[in-house]
Amino acid sequence: MKLRSLGERDLITAIAREFPKKGRAVVLGIGDDASVLKPGKKLLILTKDLLVERVDFFRNLHPPYYLGRKSLNVNLSDVAAMGGRPRFALLGLGFPPETETRWVQEYLRGFKRAARETGVSLVGGDISKAAEIVISVTVLGEAGLPVSRGGGKPGDLLFVSGSLGDAQAGFRLLNRGFRLGRNRKAAPLLQAFLNPVPQLRLGRELSRRRLASAMIDLSDGLSVDLMHLCEASGVGAVIELEKVPLSSEIRAFVREPLLLALHGGEDFQLLFSAPPENRAALLKLSRVYSIAEIGHLTARKGIFVVNGEKRRTRLKPKGYEHFK
Amino acid sequence: MKLRSLGERDLITAIAREFPKKGRAVVLGIGDDASVLKPGKKLLILTKDLLVERVDFFRNLHPPYYLGRKSLNVNLSDVAAMGGRPRFALLGLGFPPETETRWVQEYLRGFKRAARETGVSLVGGDISKAAEIVISVTVLGEAGLPVSRGGGKPGDLLFVSGSLGDAQAGFRLLNRGFRLGRNRKAAPLLQAFLNPVPQLRLGRELSRRRLASAMIDLSDGLSVDLMHLCEASGVGAVIELEKVPLSSEIRAFVREPLLLALHGGEDFQLLFSAPPENRAALLKLSRVYSIAEIGHLTARKGIFVVNGEKRRTRLKPKGYEHFK
């Protein structure tokens, strides 16, 4: 059997089965946004993302400065989804020898800038030759009061930060020849894809004030990531389509923005559930942060969408899986 | 300019310059075997190695079970060189979709076995598609009393663990068609390359009892790694060639074993310096661990070798660098 016939999710499930959570020092192991560890008194958070050229990024579309930022920020998004505070990073880089050093310099400039903005210190890493560019970033941070994917309860309200689908819309526009600096009206969409911003402050506020019952970052798309949250929490969900936040730009550039909002990945916004009694506090929070209520969790399994008065229809989670 | 014209070492130096050690929480940053961090009361150790197919390993030569072991153990060797105790690992894997799942299963079996032997818990990671197999392992551990590369003083004695050059000899034999299970007499050499053993206990004992003044693991070869230790310590060194430990197998299979012992990489043994007053304690330790005194550190910079009565000759560090 080839790996192709196995989903990425199936492989992770298989690995999680092989490596069960062991010992009191492992608070959260394989399968959440990040692992939570307790080697001493402090809760630590550890996460890693692997970015491979032509799979996770495209050199002709992604200016190296923004790729430097994004390769750190996607990890910080995992930390944000746990309500943690990032502290240290390791950087593993694999390059073809014919890579321009200028490219590497720009990449590092972006990485450094994103690290400075978020208070992260690069403390080590490794370098190798490779046939294509490979980037492996690890982030270690402090967990505070970690918010897992598994704490959602039926009746909890569902919220997302930001507007959804913008990154995927930006990716499509890049493929159609749009470029940052050349297409001003499309810039927010291009930025959403090239230069996502990790929701660290929001994640920490939700965790510190115990407002969220479960949280995940939107990397694979709302339908897939909501499925992950629901599976981990043992619940189902209903999304009210008219409440899904769409930017004016996605409405202007995309014919079916809702499809991208539901299934487009890489937004790196936060999806979280909260008990109904927290609604007032979250409404207050929405003056400072861009958050929107989009539905609720249900005892009935499965993810459903409602559109105004119309009846519920089941939503099939659909994202891009690497091995399919 | 292309990366090819830059050494791996130069690139690391450039990155270290761009990302200086910041804050009290970073005890040791870029440039040692592993970074040492102090986010709370406990000293932590963090390290990462990137293994790329056809650069760092060869699928046709390396049975996946042994590659699984080695990909974890090379990281543990960095932890050993700091005198640390490994606790947690993250695993990043990039695969071509046509990879056999059997290969992945065997790889994971090896990784799991090595993790169990060393008390390490796999707590997370990431999976991506890739054109060639890419393995990125991160290990987080406890540092205890970390031994850096930079504590060596003129007059300190130089020691190594194990026998040197075996891994490189094994690599050459594999390329000549030798295989584990088929060539019994060559097995220790093949094992040295395919299945190196991290010197965790020795590293911890040297650190706990403060016997070593500086330490590094032998990944690039004695001449290169000794240069790293000397540069970090601001000293030079003399190696007494007749004291360099050679296995009976390398003598049997290799015409010039000393060349491999000096310049062959991947032994993953420990190289450390110790004040002369620790010689007796180390002699005692040599009943339990395989360690040998091979020379001493000098105020005069540069690395020299002496052979019996003959005069010193300068040793040019020579290893394989990825980008050259």
Residues in B closer than 8 angstroms to A133, CB to CB, are none
Give the confidence band of A92 by pLDDT, cuts at 50, 70, 90.
Answer: very high
Q: What is the pLDDT, as a whole number, of residue B323?
A: 44
Q: Which residues sit opposite A86 in a β-bridge?
A: A141
Phi, psi dihedral angles at A301 (to 5 degrees): -70, 160
Strand positions, DSSP E, B102-156:
121-129, 134-142
Among A112, A142, A172, the domain boundary falls at A142
Percent of chain A at pLDDT exceeding 70? 98
Return d(Cα A125, Cα B139) in angstroms, integer: 11
**A290 and A237 together in one domain:** yes
Query: Over 50: is that where the pLDDT of A322 sits?
Result: no
Chain A residues with CB under 8 Å of B72 CB are none
- Cβ–Cβ gap A127/B8 under 8 Å: yes
- Give the pair of three-digit tokens for residue B281: 């304690």
pLDDT band at A285; cut points 50, 70, 90? very high
Same domain, B132 and B166: no
Last residue of a domain, one of A86, A111, A142: A142
Cα angle B178-B181-B186, degrees, rounded to a multiple of 5 = 50
CA B300/CA B56 separation, integer angstroms: 35
Tell me what ipTM this predicted complex has: 0.90
Q: Return d(Cα A97, Cα A110) in angstroms, integer.
A: 21
Q: Which long-range contacts (CB under 8 A, 24 or more apart) does B282-288 make?
A: B282/B157, B282/B159, B282/B211, B285/B205, B285/B211
Do residue A161 and residue A305 come from a single domain?
Answer: yes
Q: Kindly give the confidence (pLDDT) of every residue in chain B, 324 residues in length, as a single tens digit, with 9 standing for 90 and above.
A: 788 877 777 888 888 888 887 788 899 888 888 999 998 888 999 999 999 999 999 999 999 999 999 999 999 999 999 999 999 999 999 999 999 999 999 999 999 999 999 999 999 999 999 999 999 999 999 988 999 999 999 999 999 999 999 999 999 999 999 999 898 999 999 999 999 999 999 999 999 999 999 999 999 999 999 999 999 999 999 999 999 999 999 999 999 999 999 999 999 999 999 999 999 999 999 999 999 999 999 999 999 999 877 778 888 887 644 443
Task: Flag if B124 and A34 touch (Cβ within 8 Å).
Answer: yes
Q: How far is B286 from chain A (nearest CA, A)?
A: 32
**pLDDT reported for residue A324:** 36
> What pLDDT does A6 receive?
75
Q: Does A321 fall in a domain?
A: no
Contact A46 B11 (CB under 8 A): no
Query: Does residue B323 lie within any of the structural domains?
Result: no
Looking at residue B263, its amino acid is: H
Chain-centroid distance of CA B120 in Å reads 18
Q: How many separate domains does chain A show?
A: 2
Q: What local confidence, expressed as pLDDT, does residue B16 receive? A: 86
Tokens of A230: 């629901």
DSSP bridge partners of A292: A160
Q: How far is CA A41 from the centre of its chain?
A: 28
Asked if the model's pLDDT at residue A235 lies above 80, the reply is yes
Q: How far is CA B243 from CA A3, B238, B297, in A?
A: 49, 11, 15
Q: Tell me the CATH number at B94.
A: 3.30.1330.10
- Work out the average pLDDT over A143-150: 92
CB of B59 within 8 A of CB of B53?
A: yes
User: Which of B11, B12, B19 is the best residue to mutate to test the A interface, defined by the most A CB atoms within 10 Å of its own CB?
Assistant: B19
User: Which residues, in sequence order, are CB contacts of A220 under 8 Å at separation 6+?
Assistant: A228, A265, A319, A320
Domain identity same for A162 and A286? yes
> Rounded to 5 degrees, what are φ and ψ at A98?
-85, 5
The verdict on A309 and A171 lying in the same domain is yes
Asked whether B104 and B91 are in contact (CB, 8 A), the reply is no
Query: Tokens 């890693």 correspond to what residue?
Result: A48
Q: Where does residue A84 fall: left (phi above 0), alpha (psi -120 to 50 degrees), or beta otherwise?
A: beta
Please report whether residue B148 resides in a domain.
no
- The CATH number for A188's domain is 3.90.650.10
| Residues written for chain B | 324
Which of A33, A37, A104, A128 is the mutation pick for testing B, counting most B CBs within 10 A? A128
CA distance A86 to B25: 13
Rounded percentage of chain A residues whose pLDDT exceeds 90: 81
Residues of A in contact with B41 (CB under 8 A): 40-42
Residues A117 and A250 in one domain: no
Do A133 and A161 lie in a common domain?
Answer: no
Same domain membership, residue A84 and residue A21: yes
Q: A273 pairs with which residues across the strands? A: A158, A214
Q: A320 in a domain, yes or no?
A: no
Q: How far is CA A259 from CA A105, A265, B192, in A?
A: 37, 11, 54
In a domain, A323, yes or no: no
Name the residue range of residue B251's domain.
Answer: 157-314
What does the alpha-carbon distance between residue A39 and residue B191 come to, in Å, rounded to a whole number? 33
- Is residue B152 assigned to a domain? no
Looking at residue B319, what is its pLDDT? 65
Cβ contact (<8 Å) for B50 and A92? yes
What is the 8-class DSSP label of residue B2?
Answer: B
Residue at a domain's end among B107, B142, B177: B142
- Which positions ≥6 away from A208 have C-beta within 8 Å? A83, A144, A145
pTM: 0.93
- Contact indicator for A296, A237 with CB cutoff of 8 Å: yes
B250/B294 same-domain check: yes
pLDDT score, position A319: 64
**Cα distance between residue B32 and residue B217, in whole Å:** 10
Are residues B249 and B215 located together in one domain of the fold? yes
The CA distance from A168 to A263, in Å, is: 9
A134 to chain B: nearest residue by CA?
B134
Same domain, B163 and B85: no
Task: Write the pLDDT tens digit of every residue in A175-187.
Answer: 999 999 898 999 9
Residue B93 lies in a domain: yes
Q: Is A101's CB within 8 Å of B6's CB?
A: yes
Q: Are residues B172 and B106 in the same domain?
A: no
Q: With respect to residue A324, please indicate whether it lies within any of the assigned structural domains.
A: no
Nearest to A225 by CA among A172, A257, A267: A267
Q: Do A3 and B56 touch (CB under 8 A)?
A: no
Q: What is the DSSP string of B5-54?
A: GS-HHHHHHHHHHHS---STTEEE-TTSSSEEE-SSSS-EEEEEEEEEBT
Q: How many CA atoms lie within 13 A of B107 on its CB side?
A: 24
Residue corresponding to tokens 């032509």: A54
Q: Partners of A62 in the beta sheet?
A: none
